[in-house]
Structure 1
Amino acid sequence: MGRPKGGAAASSSASSKKPKPKPKQRGGVDFKKYKHKVGRKLPPPKNATSTEIKSKTIVLPEQSMASERAGMAVNKRGLTLRELLQQTAHYNANVRRAALNGIKDIVVKHPTELKLHKVAIIEKLQERICDTDKVVRESLYSILQSMIFPSLKEDNAISTRSTLFLLMANILNGMTHLSIDIQLMAFRFLELVVLNFPSSFSSYAEQAFNNFIAVLSNDRINLHDRNKLNSVLSGLGHCLSLVAKTMENDDISNRQVHDLSARELWKCTSDEDNSVGRAFAMPNLLVKLQSLVQILINSVEVSASELCAKSAIDASSSEALLSALHCLDIICRIFIHEVKKPQLRFSISKTQFGPDWLRSSLLIHLKNLWGVKRLFHEKEDGKFFIFNLKIAEIFLCLSAWIDSTMFPAEEFCHFVSSLFAKQAKTLRNKDLMEMYLSPIITCIPDLIFNAPDDSKEHLLEAFTDAFRGCKVDCKLIFPYLDAVGEMLLPEKTGTWFAEDGSGVLGYHDVWIHELPRILLQSIDKAPSVTKVVLELLLRIGQYFPTLDCENLRPFIKLFGVESSSGAVELGPFVNLARDCQELATSCLYYFPSLLPDIIGPLASCCLSDALEPLVLFRVVEVLQSTYKAGSLQITELLSFLLLLMARFRVHPGGLVTSGNPSKVSNWDTFKSLNRLILTSLSEMGDGSLVLELMWNNLSNAIAKKPSMHNMNGLFRIIVTLDAGTNKLMNEDAVKLIAGYLVDASLDLSKTIEGGFQPDKTRLFQYFIKPCTIMFDKNDKVLCSTLEMLKSFITGDDHLLSSLSNFNYPGELSCRVCAVTTILIFLCNDRKLHRNLSFGKSVIKGILDYIRHQLGSSGPNVTYEEKQKLRSAFEQLKTKALQLNCWDRSELEGLSITR
């Protein structure tokens, strides 16, 4: 073995050495070392310095933030409007959201803040239109819609215009933003501005339509976010509607401007509130609309293919397709409006946007919709049916420019006919049916007029069936009635459909036959329809004077129904509105063949208390005009007038003065009716002949002893036609005259206490006026009446049974006073003195009878009665002496023995 190496020997020698002991510390131990467990907190050193500060709160009232905000409007978080507006530009979206909510809170609690700082608020908030946060944009939209815009409408035009300029600048900027969501939201803001301030749109129309074209042409949106287009299409529809409305207003203004003075013209042009907006730059606008047509049609085609491939239609896709079709419809109407003008404004040539352009450009684009229509036609869903209704509406407004080379007319008419046939089965929603079918009905007259004759039959039949099936309380009844009126009458189109030889005439009777049915049903269910139907009936009567009224026979039920027994059940005429009553009354003139059956029910309506006086007078005037035109028999008119005079009820039934309207509400009405009837009778020709025609009915009416007012009217008829007629020379007529006079006198005597009452005296004179005229013309009638009055005093029972409507007065004094009153009034009329002289023997006999009763000592004559008899005797004797037909010696023996 060799010697060990030096390294090994060294290590062994080192390990064999012992470690050196540590030197001991001198003195005591300064720090004691502790062993602590892991994780245990060390206690502080004993000599550690405490840094804890203890102090009391220092309150400085003058420096408090609350004192600085005293009296200021703050939100729930205590922030002012200025602070919130500053926070709307904060980099944190949550802060911006909270700031907008705080502004809404302040405006609700402190409305004056919005009025004072409106401009400052809008200037700051309009920056958020392009905000990257969706919630912030939605909050801004809500604030503008519910708070700021309603308040902004109350301001003057100058401040509003400057504020809207700021808003529109940011909205137009947002429409071109790189973010699709911001773009789409900007179109919603544009729609909001257009709805609230339509006059401001014309300044930005060109740029706005450029942005519409850009966003609708964006494939990213069309392919991936088609549902997001609803807001864009909705806004486009409102903007297009605004253009169409402005064009209509411009036409009206152009027609009226030559009638305005310079000052009025300046006022109209300077006042923006009187118009929808300034005129659009039509040349550039029409070009842009032409571009929109192709874009919208492509969108409709793609949407239609996708919807037909789906098993179920989602609401947003359906809404987008309907909005696109609606925009196409408005654009077509704008172009048609321009084509129909005599010359286009702004130096546009007729060849650029004229009828040829419609056929070569617009209709070529629209031809693709025909294929879309076929896709929808195969579907049974109500949504697809609505799509077809909208497509049909587009083509119907262009029906005048469509020829068979583009669209087969027969196929198109069958298409529209199928819509009418399927509408009741497919559209169960009443509101949708009224909304989408109404424009189709409105266009039917133009389609029928322009379509070839061999293509109209199916359409007319389908339209007529739908018209029959339409309920009166459905809103579709109005366009149906308008369409029927347009096809019956040439008022709107200037064209007689009956002259085109197309078979329309065969449906006229069917449509007219439906009108009375609709009229009668609408009175209770749809009063607004009643006036429309009556106006249409009136126009039909005016345009067709030789119309066969058999189809209108149910019209009679409007006034009432007369039973076989003669009783009349009143119709709804008396309860109609005043204007409807006027229309129905005017219709009577044009439907004379119905009058014989209407006269009876019409008279009952006129006698109803529910009928206003002016309507009553109007009925009489219309019937009089109908008679003068030769359309009403004189006997029918006489019967009607006599019935009114004999049966009109004056309220109350007793004799009261006209000066007391609380008791008599319709006496003045009866007097006016009386004058109107008498005027009508006097215009019919020879009075004696007219009286001859109506004498039997007149005498029968008098014999029934109606009220005194009616009797007075009947006697006035006799006086008006022939006061001296010999027909009064019979015992029955004289009895009726005498009884009438006694009735009037007895009523007057009831109120005489200590002398005549002036009002009653005038009323009595009114009642006996027709009798005095008859007595003046016929002395024999006067003498016979005096004899009858004498018999009444003496108590001749066989004559008294038919004299008076009042209970027969048994007291002699009552009978004497009644007759004395009559004779005194007759003697006061100087015209009767000569004829009264022929009856002086009768008067002397009455005086003899009274004197005899005064001298009698019978128990039936009391002292009070004798006093009344003596007063009546003296008054009658005094009046008799004034007749100048007596000798003094004749009356000397008539003195009363005291």
Structure 2
Amino acid sequence: MVRSKPPSKKKQRGVDFNKIKRKIGRKLPPPKNATNTEIKSKAIILPEQSVASDKAGLAVSKKGLTLKELLQQTSHHNAKVRKDALIGIKDLVRKHPAELKLHKLAIVEKLRERISDENKSVREMLYQLLKEVIFPGSKEDIPGPFISLIMVYIFNAMTHLSIDIRLMAFKFFDLVVQHYPSSFLMYAEKVLQNYEDILRKNQTYLQDRGKLKSALVGLVRGLSLLPCNERKADSSDEKVLDTQRTLHAFELEVPMKHTGISSTIKKLEDLMPVLVNCFLEFTSSVRQMPVLETQSFDCMQCALQSIDLVCKFFFYGTNKHQTAYDGSYAMACGENAMPVFLRKLLEVFPLNSKQDVSEKDHDRYFILNAGITEIFLHFSGWNCTHAILMEKFLEFMETSVSGQISCNTRSSKALREKHLVSLLQFFPKLLSQITGNWKSRLLQAFTKAFKDCKTESSLKLACLSVIKEMLLPSRMQGTLLLDATDTEILDHQITWIRELPLLLLQFGDKHLSSSKVVLHLLLRLAQFAPMNSSLAWEYENMQHSLRDFYCTCLDKGSICYGPFIKLPRDCQELSICCLYYFSSLDSLMLRALSCCCLSNNLEPFVLFRIIEVLQSAYKAGHVQIADHLSFFVTLLACFRVYPENFYPSSGNDEKILNHGTFKAITSAICSCLSQMGDDNLVLQTLEKIIVDEISLNLPLVNKCALLRMLVVLDSKPTRLSEQSIIKLSKSLSEYLIDAASSIPENDDGSSDSVRLRNCVYLLIPCFFLFDRSDKLLNLVLDLMGSSLGENYSSVEYAFDLSRKICAISSVLLFMYKDVKIQRRLLLCQVSVNRILHNILFQSSTETNMPLEQRQRIQSAVDQLQSATSRLYC
């Protein structure tokens, strides 16, 4: 077999050009011998040709953009550019506030387009820009055009197809309402319509409760601006409890061109069932969860607050709108006039009363149940509610108020107290209309809460306001809400009354509003408690426990002042007025009041009010005459004038600390004495007391005040007894010498007019007594003369003798200047001559007396002899 030949291998020859295979679609590279036409150059920058030269003097952002450029970029197709533009505007306006004032409307007109921006971060950035910069910077300007510009785009966003944009629009509206509250009333009808639409469609985003919360929070804020006459726990009883605006004010505040009142009310009526359904939907979804999530709780709470605010609008408004509201919902509810949709809300009450939930969930369910209860109690027809449902509410009220619901943390207790304050306002009406065992149980729960709650808590203040309404007749109706003849109710009322003085001591001067409420309550109780009733008797017995509120006089003479001294004037005025209504003010209470009057911390106005009220109480027969006079004597004898030497070294009488006040007190007391009836009987009661007090070592001004009391009660001729005249003469001789000696002389030996007037003020009461009794004048002159007959040989005595001689000479000179006393001195020539003889004898025999003192004595003797010679010639 022939073998086949293998293929022959031919040697390849050298190849001059290799053929390169190119792939289809690839661009051919340039040939190697191609000419490079690229030109490289550098720009020449000239300062006068820079773009920055066009922005010289303009406000620019960190990136060098002007406000106009930034506003243009807010419409850029790129979301990041739009957001950066908003950030730039924020920085520029903060750095240059004048730009906002100049271009406010232009800025808002451009920014409002971003309210419906599809990008969430852009909308959030716009919200922050408006909240932190635009609205605060435009607060002082008139918001009319400003609001109208932005509200058009907000309403447009509220009807957007995107749920996120719609909900964000409500957030923008809430921001507008925060800064311009009147905007809600201006656009109420349209806003409520949009809220109704968004809440009807809440099924689509129940899972994202945070979005719905933003809309509900704005609704709550807007509804809180609705006018109403909501009743408040006001501490002032002199003002009618009508501090909120009425629906008539609503009509005046919201022009008809913006919205019709009737259409706004209709929108509120349409919104109510939507809010209730929204709340019920959340309730049904929450029941399927082991815990109450924060977002769910917030949404439910906002829904309840909205329902409550609408109820307040209708049921605390005028009768006109309340009747319209009740009539519009007078559906087939049997005996109950409550709307059907609200009855559905009440059927789920109480929410989740299980015991296996956390403390936090307990608090949240309590807040929701308290909200439902408050809505329930707003309705006038609640007392016709089905018995089983009514039992639920009464049981919740009892357990809540009495504290049977456990609170383990401080925050939990504070939270529950806050909501109990809102519920307590319904207690008077509730107790006046329920019957049977529940009235007793609620009264016990309320009394327990009143006694157990802390002194400084808001719950204590709320309890006091409720007590005021249940204890006293209504000022509007003039009748008691509770039957005072019911012994069980009376027992609780007595318990409340007995707590009031203790509360005043506990409040002290730290809780002024609470103290004022208690004092108002005491005053109203004193004014309106029926005579000879148990309540009036309790007020009378309160005097002993109330005494410590003013002052406590301890056995060792020390004084412990009560809260009365440190309270403001209005509280002091209330407590003073309470004194008038005690049928018999005892001596211990008057002693406490006198201690308060003697305190340096008491204002003069309050002191005079005490004197005035006690004088009125005396005229009404509430103060015994002996106690009343003892109060006056104590006040004048113990009041301390500062400085005790009331002659200033310079200046005038007005610069003395409280001498003018004491003069006014003396005049007021003397005026009261002149109005007390028979002066002779009053003098017989006071004579010995005043004479004894004057004989004590009292300051001159106090002795002068007591002498003025005698002058007011005495007559001419004097009615003072001989024993009093003898005892008084010794005191007056020393008093006159001390009064004249207290006048300091100038360097030239003269005395200024102010000091002389003060001396005359001290001497005048004595001159009145001398004019009425020659015997008293003779005794005083004899005692002054005999006081110069003593002889001692010492330098100290010589100085005292010189002072005494000058003082006696001054007293006699003052007597010579008084016309009435001049006539009396003619009958006392022997006593005057004895004084002159003793003065001359002592001045001539005294060897230890300095030359200066001798000269002063000689000057006084010369003046006295000259005046005597003129008198007897």
Cα 1:507–1:219 shift into 2, 3 Å: same
2-side partners of 1:452 and 1:234: how far apart? 40
SS at structure 2 position matched to 1:785 = helix
2-side partners of 1:825 and 1:845: how far apart? 18
SS at structure 2 position matched to 1:569 = strand
How many correspondences in the alignment?
833
1-side partners of 2:266 and 2:333: how far apart? 12
Following TM superposition, by how much is the alpha carbon of 1:247 offset from its aligned partner in structure 2, in angstroms?
11
Partner of 2:502: 517
Q: Cα deviations across residues 653-697 of structure 1 (Å, max 9, x unaligned)? A: 114059536862111001101100100111111222112112332
Decide which moves more: 488-497 or 656-665. 656-665
1-side partners of 2:35 and 2:671: how far apart? 128
Check whether the contact 1:198–1:277 (CA below 8 A) recurs between aligned residues: no
2-side partners of 1:686 and 1:513: how far apart? 40
2-side partners of 1:18 and 1:369: how far apart? 104
Partner of 1:833: 822
Q: Does 1:794 align with 2:794?
A: no
1-side partners of 2:824 and 2:78: how far apart? 116
Following TM superposition, by how much is the alpha carbon of 1:596 offset from its aligned partner in structure 2, in angstroms?
3.0
Alignment of 1:486-505 (within 5 A): 486-494=469-477, 495-499=479-483, 501=485, 503-505=488-490
Cα 1:256–1:829 shift into 2, 3 Å: farther
Following TM superposition, by how much is the alpha carbon of 1:406 offset from its aligned partner in structure 2, in angstroms?
6.5
Following TM superposition, by how much is the alpha carbon of 1:488 offset from its aligned partner in structure 2, in angstroms?
1.7
Cα 1:861–1:528 shift into 2, 3 Å: closer
Q: Pick the structure with greater CA Rg.
A: 1
Aligned residue among 82, 97, 111 for 1:125:
111
Partner of 2:375: 394
Partner of 2:680: 688
Partner of 1:457: 440
Cα 1:354–1:43 shift into 2, 3 Å: closer
Cα 1:226–1:749 shift into 2, 3 Å: closer
Alignment of 1:442-481 (within 5 A): 442-481=425-464
Alignment of 1:635-784 (within 5 A): 635-656=626-647, 659-660=651-652, 664-723=656-715, 724-727=718-721, 729=723, 730-748=725-743, 753-784=748-779
Check whether the contact 1:793–1:819 (CA below 8 A) recurs between aligned residues: no
Following TM superposition, by how much is the alpha carbon of 1:712 offset from its aligned partner in structure 2, in angstroms?
0.5
Following TM superposition, by how much is the alpha carbon of 1:124 offset from its aligned partner in structure 2, in angstroms?
1.4
Q: Does 1:370 align with 2:349?
A: no
Partner of 1:889: none
Partner of 1:627: 618
Following TM superposition, by how much is the alpha carbon of 1:787 offset from its aligned partner in structure 2, in angstroms?
1.0
2-side partners of 1:477 and 1:279: how far apart? 44
Partner of 1:304: 283
Cα 1:277–1:659 shift into 2, 3 Å: farther
Q: Does 1:107 align with 2:107?
A: no
SS at structure 2 position matched to 1:497 = coil
Following TM superposition, by how much is the alpha carbon of 1:206 offset from its aligned partner in structure 2, in angstroms?
2.3
Partner of 1:484: 467
Decide which moves more: 432-441 or 699-708. 432-441
Following TM superposition, by how much is the alpha carbon of 1:424 offset from its aligned partner in structure 2, in angstroms?
6.8
2-side partners of 1:356 and 1:840: how far apart? 110
Q: Cα deviations across residues 476-508 of structure 1 (Å, max 9, x unaligned)? A: 233222111111222455231343655433321
Check whether the contact 2:329–2:337 (CA below 8 A) recurs between aligned residues: no
Identity %, equivalent residues = 38
2-side partners of 1:280 and 1:457: how far apart? 49
Cα 1:19–1:470 shift into 2, 3 Å: closer
SS at structure 2 position matched to 1:561 = strand
SS at structure 2 position matched to 1:794 = coil
Partner of 1:243: 226
Aligned residue among 549, 565, 578 for 1:587:
578
Q: Cα deviations across residues 338-386 of structure 1 (Å, max 9, x unaligned)? A: 6x514779xx698446799997664432222333223333446111111
Check whether the contact 1:562–1:601 (CA below 8 A) recurs between aligned residues: yes
2-side partners of 1:375 and 1:349: how far apart? 27
Following TM superposition, by how much is the alpha carbon of 1:284 offset from its aligned partner in structure 2, in angstroms?
3.2
Partner of 1:341: 319
Check whether the contact 1:202–1:277 (CA below 8 A) recurs between aligned residues: no
Check whether the contact 1:509–1:551 (CA below 8 A) recurs between aligned residues: no
Following TM superposition, by how much is the alpha carbon of 1:719 offset from its aligned partner in structure 2, in angstroms?
0.9
Following TM superposition, by how much is the alpha carbon of 1:650 offset from its aligned partner in structure 2, in angstroms?
1.0
Cα 1:640–1:872 shift into 2, 3 Å: same
Cα 1:782–1:401 shift into 2, 3 Å: same
- Structure 2: which 5+ residue stretches go unaligned? 22-27, 232-241
- Structure 1: which 5+ residue stretches go unaligned? 1-11, 37-41, 258-267, 798-806, 887-898
Cα 1:289–1:222 shift into 2, 3 Å: farther
2-side partners of 1:862 and 1:367: how far apart? 107
Check whether the contact 2:454–2:460 (CA below 8 A) recurs between aligned residues: yes
2-side partners of 1:517 and 1:276: how far apart? 53
Q: Cα deviations across residues 714-760 of structure 1 (Å, max 9, x unaligned)? A: 11111110151333655332110111011112223755844444333
Aligned residue among 805, 811, 831 for 1:842:
831
Following TM superposition, by how much is the alpha carbon of 1:279 offset from its aligned partner in structure 2, in angstroms?
8.4
In structure 2, give the amino acid aligned to 1:581.
Q
TM-score by length of 2: 0.87
Partner of 1:206: 189
Following TM superposition, by how much is the alpha carbon of 1:772 offset from its aligned partner in structure 2, in angstroms?
0.7
Alignment of 1:138-153 (within 5 A): 138-153=124-139
Q: Cα deviations across residues 605-625 of structure 1 (Å, max 9, x unaligned)? A: 111111111111111111111
Cα 1:421–1:762 shift into 2, 3 Å: closer
Cα 1:163–1:740 shift into 2, 3 Å: closer
Following TM superposition, by how much is the alpha carbon of 1:773 offset from its aligned partner in structure 2, in angstroms?
0.6
Following TM superposition, by how much is the alpha carbon of 1:169 offset from its aligned partner in structure 2, in angstroms?
2.0
Check whether the contact 1:400–1:450 (CA below 8 A) recurs between aligned residues: no
Partner of 1:894: none
Aligned residue among 811, 815, 819 for 1:822:
811
Aligned residue among 97, 100, 103 for 2:83:
97
TM-score by length of 1: 0.85
Q: Cα deviations across residues 560-592 of structure 1 (Å, max 9, x unaligned)? A: 112234443222322222222222222211235
